[in-house]
Amino acid sequence: MADDNDLPPESKLTRTKEKWAREGRFLTGKISRPEDRRLPPGQHLTRDWPVLDLGVVPPVSRERWRLDVYGAIDNPVFWTFAEFSAQPQVHFTSDVHCVTTWSRYDNQWQGLATGELLAACQPRDDARFVVLHSYDGYTTNLALEDFAAEDALLAHSWSGEPLSDEHGGPVRLVVPHLYFWKSAKWLQAIEFLTEDAPGYWEVRGYHNRGDPWAEQRYSGD
């Protein structure tokens, strides 16, 4: 299971993004979603895939990778990469929206749909939230209904190739309808909870949910 005491070190990026949260950086106040719009308010389109993390890229090979799923569930799961890959696989194409204002269209993912994971681990009736634990010590929280979205998945490949280390390989979460900080890289464990437990950025001034179309960048938005 993930070690909650092994937090990532503070960095220049951490301090900068906390400052953005205090100042309300990038907010436009335009929170409606016209049917003909694909780009959320305050975002700009990029063809690149910028790399943002806490400054630590954990060296986790597919051979060493493990996923622990535990908490308010009836069937705890402990998978190697081979066992994870033996589960039903899906392909999804979705857009990515980062809280730092870039968006990227038509990302092609392959992996395990979160709905399949839920079927395997069987959350209890009182489970309401999940916390994602990463190999670099990062955490982020999600309401169970957001984690269970139809196009959410635990992705191991992007554009037909294995996820690179810098983008969260061997496996990362992808929840396209929320800002991308909610899609934890280097996924190590998934903890099901009956009560919410804000994660790394959420306790540093970022919004608890992170809906791009409501421009939920920071707490209080």
DSSP letters of the chain? ---TT-PPPP-HHHHHHHHHHHHTTT--------TT--SPTT-EE-SS-----SS------TTT-EEEEEESBSS-EEEEHHHHHTS--EEEEEEEE-TTSEEEEEEEEEEEEHHHHHHHH-B-TT--EEEEEETTS-EEEEEHHHHT-TT-EEEEEETTEEPPGGGT-S-EEE-TTS-GGGS-SSEEEEEEESS----TTGGGTB-SS--GGGT--BTT-
Q: For position 54, what pLDDT does the model report?
A: 74
The yes-or-no verdict on residue 72 having pLDDT over 90 is yes
Q: For position 29, what pLDDT does the model report?
A: 60
For range 119-142, the mean pLDDT? 97
The amino acid present at 58, given as its one-letter code, is: P
Q: What mean pLDDT is reported for the chain?
A: 90
Per-residue pLDDT tens over the stretch 25-56: 555 665 555 556 899 999 999 999 988 777 78
Q: For position 137, what pLDDT does the model report?
A: 93
Q: Which two tokens stand for residue 173?
A: 């979460």
Q: For position 26, what pLDDT does the model report?
A: 56
Q: For position 35, what pLDDT does the model report?
A: 53
The model's pTM is 0.84
